[in-house]
Each structure stands twice: as C-alpha cells, then as structure tokens.
Amino acid sequence: MSFRLPDEFLYSTIIIIISSLTIQFALNNYKLKKWIITRWSILATIVLSAIFIYLQLKGWDTLKAIGMPIDGNPSGSFVYAISGFHGVHYIVGIALLMLIYLIMKWSKEDKKMILNNNVNPNRLLQLELITSFWHYIGIVWVYIYILFKYMIYN
C-alpha cells in the first residue's frame, strides 16, 4: 500500500535542523562566556525539541486519518516505530538539556565560575557531549525523513 508521508514530518525536520543550530549557538556562546545567551539558547533548543515531538504525534494522527493505523499495514507501522524510537531519543535529550540548564542556573560552582568569568570545564564537557548527541540524532532524523519521503513512501 502506498501513501503520502504527512507534512508534519517535513515541518518537524525543519524544526530539528533549527534546534541543531540553537544548541550549537549555546555551546559557542558558552565558550565565549556569554552566559545569558547560552541559557536562552538551551531553552530555545528545549522548546524546539518539544515542538518536534508534538509534530511527530500530529504526523501519527494524520497517518491514522488517512487510514494507516499503527497496527495496520507494515509500511505504516514502520513509520510509527522509527519515528517513535527517534522521538524517545529526543525526550531523553530534552531531559538532559533541562538538567544541564538547571545545573547552570542553580549550581554554586557555576555561579562562582561566572563571577570570575571562567568557563566551568565540567559544564563545557556536558555541553559538548549533548551538542554532539543533538547533531547526531538530527542528522539521523534528516536521513530517515529523506528515506521515508523519497525512497519508500513516494
């Protein structure tokens, strides 16, 4: 059975590309000791990622509306499984970003580092790791979208 991939998946792909830019912006600004911009960039990434998850769920609703339920055709089930598995990775990423944000905001060690205009090496490592993770899952999602859109469900 052939079907058209819902537009929500395209919109979520655009959102996730933008979130990759915002997390990179956060990392770059942390290195430049621009603390407020860093925190706002992390928050922007969290919001964009929540929008990504929402759009994925809306894409699922659209699939159901066009007669492609999760327990129906294997092609449709594949979209649910892959996008759902990917969504779980973003949920984990959001949780980690929230944790990093809260630590940056409330940690006494971070406050001392900021007062001395120093980068906290632990926080820098955390930001570098989450940024790498973010870019990786973003690239994987773009690949999945292209695979779905142009190779499987065209």
- What is the C-alpha separation between 38 and 127, in angstroms, rounded? 10
Q: In one letter, which amino acid is 11?
A: Y
Q: 120: helix, coil or strand? A: coil
Kindly state whether residue 80 falls inside one of the protein's structural domains. Answer: yes
Kindly state whether residue 100 falls inside one of the protein's structural domains. Answer: yes
In the prediction, which pLDDT does 57 show?
A: 93
Kindly state whether residue 142 falls inside one of the protein's structural domains. Answer: yes
SS (H, E, C) 72-107: CCHHHHHHHHHHHHHHHHHHHHHHHHHHHHHHHHHC
Burial 127-148 (b: 16+ CB within 10 A, else e): beebbebbeebbeebeebbeeb
In the prediction, which pLDDT does 17 show?
A: 97
Kindly state whether residue 2 falls inside one of the protein's structural domains. Answer: no
In the prediction, which pLDDT does 116 show?
A: 78
Kindly state whether residue 1 falls inside one of the protein's structural domains. Answer: no
Domain interval for residue 26: 7-152
Kindly state whether residue 106 falls inside one of the protein's structural domains. Answer: yes
Number of domains in the chain: 1
pTM: 0.88
Report the CATH number that the domain containing residue 100 is assigned in CATH: 1.20.120.80
> Along the 154 residues of the chain, how does pLDDT read in single tens digits?
566 788 999 999 999 999 999 999 999 999 999 989 999 999 999 999 999 999 999 998 988 888 877 777 666 677 888 888 888 999 999 999 999 999 888 877 777 777 778 888 999 999 999 999 999 999 999 999 998 888 766 5
- What is the C-alpha separation between 22 and 106, in angstroms, rounded? 22
